Structure 1
């Protein structure tokens, strides 16, 4: 059996962490769905920056909008929505077959809004309305301002992919915002047909930690954080508060493992996928990681609900001198700034292309 099919059958949804027009136009994404058990897709500013700046695939879409008075950001979101909605239509049969649990595609609000609650809410509502698909997630960062927006948007019935989470505490903050939004819907007599995922970034932990940790502790922290957060996820789903919402028809905010490509050449390219197989979760993989796991990946069981050896590993890393909480905060700030830089580069690339096309 294909390793990806085995992973899917073990209960983990496999999402592609990439989008570009050629994937759609060539039929490659459709083949990934049919042959590689891919059931969803995520995007981010860096992915779109590479897709648009690195090809001529979007030139016609830009050319057709010249002279329409769009700002560069408005032009980007119009183009991005073409890809997002086309991908969502490909995944719609999966979405319908799973009762709305799977088959999602994600589009992120502007990273420049990471500390702007009202701006995030307004843009998320616009993008949600423009996409007009039940299986499109709007991605909102789990920053302090973003968490307030997540509660408001959930209460408004908009499904959210919470991004830029790096720790158990970040995950629990995300879950709290989601549940508060659902509880407001209960109080208002509204249905609970609102979905969410909480995207926990993994490999960036090990890239940062390896700069200070001894060799025997390299490439252990990311998986430990994943296991610790999975325990918190399982515990929350067993809580009375969640069970009350579930009894009213609420769907869990599924834990999503993101940033699962191996950055250290000394470990297998499928390392994080094998280590973080878990029921009722999502793993969103870059294309190279997806193809690698389909070719030679191995499934060695699934995560234990009790977190396994996570606390023992994190205790050893703390003893070695690394402040895990401080690093989590640092990684979230760096992730926010990285997406912000990519978005600005993307807008600069679009401006340059539009000028060239107009000429």
Structure 2
């Protein structure tokens, strides 16, 4: 098996191959067996936001979510990288208010809304972005909920804080690996590194969680269901995660991460997927995950909300079609018989 990143996505302009995005993919079952891979499944990566459902595990498993009366929509928001649309900002604001907290309690930092209409309106109104607009504010509201439950201090993003220690314990449990270390994410929380195959294994643990009755599995099953039921809270209108979850032929929880990472939970197959684009390009990670899910039969290549990522049209400033972003030949082809037989 190759240890180098392999071509996954091509960028064509006219009849010429202009650029190539390389990367790694691992598809795993809950035992940690890699059933199909491209590149190096043992490549160590930062999962970035693709691990948010893992970071939310202690929120549910500890009883903090039940104590706070959190809804499934709020749990989906805790797993999400939202676009800072009014629906997201209002939801996080209400969540904090229910905790008796204000925006200042967050430690994620301010970020301009990724919702174009709101961002432009805020510019016109000369309104500065707040931490509520940060795409990670739902995760951080979950951290604050857990911190209150644990009667811990306000600096919940400190790696030695009880909240983050609980997140690390959950992370190493579902990946079945000791993390080699962490980096600080864009939202200031520690992000623990792990091999790509271990992240895929963690997603498969979520995919099979509904078959087990231990506390952590019950938490994983609830978070998986919450993401499936509330795709807008996971990302937002027009976003890849939301659109592909809606378009899926079967149950699918899908989560992007910065720097070209994607993770997918397939409960009907008992499989997890983890993907990393070596150069960190989002256009490539969206195309590659769409191709893998088409390969498995989870998505229909002809669905318009799949085709827009699977074969993304490139247009110039006059609106003329000048090329496309597409998976390498064969990536979206039907899976092998051995992979098909791994359905749970």
TM range (shorter): under 0.3
Give the TM-score normalised by the residue count of structure 2: 0.27
Give the TM-score normalised by the residue count of structure 1: 0.26
Q: When you count helix as a share of all residues, which structure comes out higher?
A: 1
Q: When you count strand as a share of all residues, which structure comes out higher?
A: 2
